[in-house]
Structure 1
Amino acid sequence: MGADRVVIIGAGPAGLTAAYELQRRAPRSHPVVLEASRMVGGISRTEERDGYRFDIGGHRFFTKVPEVEAMWHEVLGADFITVSRMSRIYYRGRFYAYPLKVLNALWNIGLYEAGRILISYLKWQIWPHPKETNFEEWTINRFGGRLYMHFFRAYTEKVWGISPRRIQADWAAQRIKSLSLMKVIRNSVFGGTDATSLIERFQYPRLGPGMMWERVRDSVIGRGGEVRLGANVTRVLWSEDRVIAVGIGKDSVDGQPASEELVEGDQFINSMALRDLIEAFDPPPPDEVRDAAQRLRYRDFLIVALQLDQVDPFPDNWIYIHSPEVLVGRIQNFRAWSRDMVADESTASIGMEYFVNKGDRLWSMPDEELRGLAASEIEKLGLADAARITGFAVIRQEKAYPVYDAEYRDAVEVIRTWLQTLRNFQTAGRNGLHRYNNQDHSMLTAMLAVRNILGEENDLWTVNVERSYHEEFETKKVESGRRVQTV
């Protein structure tokens, strides 16, 4: 395949990693990155207001994928700091250490309820759900019904806005991995962890994750590539088995593009959401592909960032809010991630995170009302006095999380089958594959997409960052007879 001009849709971790990797492996190539917004980094960007910086959700940098780790250090150097983790769960007026600490949990929940949790766990070990089809069944089989009721059900409903019974088990298997109640207890007593989500130390860019992607942007441009902001891809033109060009809207009038610029390329890598991608193809794909795209669902997100005239109202990097009496789902303390995230070290920057659907009551609430809601809830939780708030900002993020509902797997398979008929087009990243995974997964899929352009045959749809944890590298044949590296 040729790598002369590669058009990349999206300037998040996947898109910018693709451009960076392409220039590293093929210095004469010319990547053109098209980003609809005015910032790079996607959901991993860092916003700034009046000298206060905040993430769109906290982003830990932790991986055991060597090529991803190497790129982080290569780009950031001394600006890549190590952070000690402190996180807790707020539930029924009490704070629980997370990862779990046995004495803390017993003190908070009481010996009687702890005994009931253990009995419930043993019951489900003897009589588990025979088939794990959804999140509830998967979790109960590993933690028991009582612990599920306390610590999984309400929070999962808050995050996703639907019953855990409607979320597929593979989301839990992907996010919680090999964890179980006995492993949690063992780890809390003897140390160590079996889950990536529970690591005690992680790395982080000094000025937030956006610093990483701003540096990559500058590197790509410095080596002769293009990163074009405000370039909203509205059409993907294709013929037979190849993509020819993408159309980007310019000079909007009443929200509609008044003109269009066509950007041609030899190869194309996409990281925009699959549903939007399929809608953009011109001519339209087959009806069953378009119908499948419409079945994909996303969870949106908004953050109310509060500036307080006090230092660290709580010591945690973040707190999970399981209590249903407030709407906030998670609270970040950005100064605990990096001191450079605040304009003045005698102040604090707090992120009140709400999981929403675009158009619902919270999403549509005016910014001042959201500020009032966040102020009242942080005070209700006993974390800060609303009178200490000196400033705020509201950021809304569409399609933050692909939803793993009952329809997503079949829908993705239909889309995947059709997209793989296009010889010069690949899709990568979280929304590009409709796969809720971490930043390192998005980066790895982008790296492998570049290697495909240069002659390898990697199946991006089966990429699994866990391969490096277990040192499993396998090459197998796929149905077409091509040899594909399973990562």
Structure 2
Amino acid sequence: MKQDTVPVVIIGGGPAGLTAAYELQKLSHAHVPQVYEASDMVGGISRTETYKGYRFDIGGHRFFTKVREVEDMWREVLGDDFITVQRLSRIFYRGRFYDYPLRIFNALGNIGPYETYKIIGSYIKWKLRPKAQEDTFEDWVINRFGGRLYMHFFHSYTKKVWGIPPSEIRADWAAQRIKNLSLPKAVWNAISGANDTASLIEEFQYPRLGPGMMWEKTRDLIEKQGGTVQMRTEVVKVNRDGNRVTSIDVRRWTENGGQSEKTERIEGAHFVNSMAVRDLIHAFDPPPPPEVVAAADRLKYRDFLIVTLMLDHADPFPDNWIYIHSPKVKVGRIQNFRAWSKEMLPDQNTSSIGMEYFCQKGDGLWSSSDEDLRKLASEELEKLDLAKASDVIDWTVIRQPKAYPVYDGEYKEALDTVSGWLKTLENFQTVGRNGLHRYNNQDHSMLSAMYAARNILGENNDVWDVNVERSYHEEFEAKPKNKASKERLDKGAVL
């Protein structure tokens, strides 16, 4: 590395880590990003896995944002490789399929006039006498939809996803993920066709070869500009001297899948992290104060696995994905990858169906053999009357630990303690979903990383205070925090 360059060490090659490197190179020729990724693929949970020519997501990843800078980066990197996908998704509940977003006649026809009357009555009751305090997911939803609709469409699915009752999930999660949706708005959208709720958009952009295409191209651009992205290189220690980080220790994976016994020390001037914050705290040497370590240990994660089934015919259902609310099956969501992009399949006369299961590392599902998971997924696909188990011609399984940060009753106090200590570090920032322990969208992870890169160059953005809600509001306006931000705004960028 040249003497007049400034090394910036970035932990993790997912959307946040790669965005930080890309943004840094865009704004400075002197700062050289060095990205270290433990796995053999970039993109994190937004990567695209491949199996015998079939490409599939770790969950579906729509590309939709109202943050101009994120949109600009997507376009700069992928250009014409984006396709526009019409959204079609449904909910399977009590043996019927409900259009999602809501279609009024479909919903009324499925649920019936008596139950519709009960839902409206429950909604009026809770609007007249709402819960005074919205501490939990359950409180938040009931105040906006009524207890009856909550019971039908929120309780069972939320418990399946998170593995804990909705009464134990904090309201923060609902406010962030469901955003500004309410029953009157849902009904009005269904009648009028209007829809300004971010989670219910009718069409979205998608890389023609899956979301991993975005991050593979970003990696190539970073390396073309002189940065490095080193794969199969796990960060095992973050060394500090007081409130400054001095270096990281890495251990490289060998070609046969083992780990080298030797560690290598990497020094840097600035550091950006996107690994899970609980693991990060345990990586510091010397360690943080005991209360910070104890707080980090209280942060929990929900794990995920996908059984991708290849079928002997195309499109057993037209949806991009289906939410499975039925407690009679374990599958939580089902993807039809050909409905996302036909280029995800090598043979257009077949199907690639992702059966998604939410679980905990070490539980019965996670520990099941791949063959047992294939059998379970095939049987559940048939039980839902979507295809026959005998239609399956091939399959593969991917397990994803730490897919979702959990918003339980302990997380807020614990995260405040952890973030309070991390903010005392002068040259170290943490970004992204797991780096901030926030169940955010891809664009929010990217925006936090952009802020971190700008901070290295002299700005003073609080990456912990990136407000994901405001980025979806139609009235969102950029507010420059300093002169450098204002200059960029004057050139047309939105912060």
1:241, CA displacement in angstroms?
A: 1.4
| CA–CA distance in structure 1, aligned partners of residues 241 and 182 of structure 2 | 50
Provide Cα deviations, 1:5-32, integer angstroms capped at 9, x if missing partner: 1000000000000111111111232100
TM-score normalised to structure 2 length? 0.94
Give the 5 Å matches for 1:165-314.
165-250=167-252, 258-314=261-317
Answering whether residue 327 of structure 2 is matched by residue 329 of structure 1, we say: no
SS in 1 for 2:133: coil
CA distance in structure 2 between the partners assigned to 1:57 and 1:398 by the alignment: 13
- Cα distance in structure 2, aligned partners of 1:251 and 1:258: 9
**Aligned 8 A contact 1:233 1:248 in 2:** yes
CA distances 1:337-362 after superposition (whole Å, capped 9, x unpaired): 00000011111100000000000000
Q: How far 1:257 sits from its partner (Å)?
A: 5.2
Question: Equivalent residue for 1:58?
Answer: 60
Quick check: 1:3–1:454 contact (8 Å CA) kept in 2? no
User: How far does residue 177 in structure 1 lie from its aligned partner after superposition?
Assistant: 0.9
Match of 1:480 in 2: none
Change (3 A) 1:14 1:241: same
- 8 Å CA contact 1:251, 1:259 repeated in 2: no
- Work out whether 1:131 is the aligned partner of 2:133: yes
Q: Secondary structure at the match of 2:278?
A: helix
In 2, Cα distance between equivalents of 1:337 and 1:421: 44
In 1, Cα distance between equivalents of 2:28 and 2:325: 48
How far is the alpha carbon of 1:309 from its aligned partner?
A: 1.1
**Aligned residue pairs, count:** 478
- Aligned: 1:67 with 2:69: yes
Q: 2:222 touches 2:228 (CA, 8 Å); kept in 1?
A: yes
CA change 1:258–1:59 in 2 (3 A) is: same
Give the distance between the partners of 2:20 and 2:144, measured in 1 at CA: 38
User: Secondary structure of 1:117's partner?
Assistant: helix
Aligned to 2:353: 350
1:81 to 1:271, Cα distance in 2 relative to 1, 3 A: same
**CA deviation after TM superposition for structure 1 residue 192, in Å:** 1.9
- Counterpart in 1 of 2:381? 378
- Note the alpha carbon deviations across 1:262-313, whole angstroms, 9 max, x for none: 1111000000000000000011110010000000000000000011110100
Structure 2 gaps of 5+ residues are: 483-493
Q: CA deviation at 1:473?
A: 4.0
* Residue 154 of structure 2 is aligned to residue 152 of structure 1: yes
Instruction: Indicate how the Cα distance of structure 1 residues 307 and 367 shifts in structure 2: closer, same or farther if over 3 A, else same.
Output: same
Q: How far apart, in 2, do the equivalents of 1:223 and 1:242 lie?
A: 28
Counterpart residue type for residue 230 of structure 1: R
What per-residue deviation string (whole Å, max 9, x for no partner) do you get for residues 37-64 of structure 1?
Answer: 0000000000000010000000000000
Indicate the residue corresponding to 1:481 in structure 2. none
Q: CA RMSD in A?
A: 1.6
Aligned to 2:434: 431
Structure 1 stretch 98-107 or stretch 190-199: which is displaced more? 190-199
Tell me, which stretches of 5 or more residues in structure 1 are unaligned?
478-485
Q: Secondary structure of 1:258's partner?
A: coil
In structure 2, how many angstroms separate the alpha carbons of the residues matched to 1:476 and 1:145? 42
- Work out the CA distance in 2 between the residues paired with 1:108 and 1:338: 30
Q: Provide the C-alpha distance between the structure 1 equivalents of 2:180 and 2:52, rounded to a whole number of angstroms.
A: 43
Q: Scaled by the length of structure 1, what TM-score is found?
A: 0.96
Instruction: State the distance in 2 between where 1:3 and 1:129 align.
Output: 57
Q: Is the 8 A contact 1:65 1:465 kept in 2?
A: no
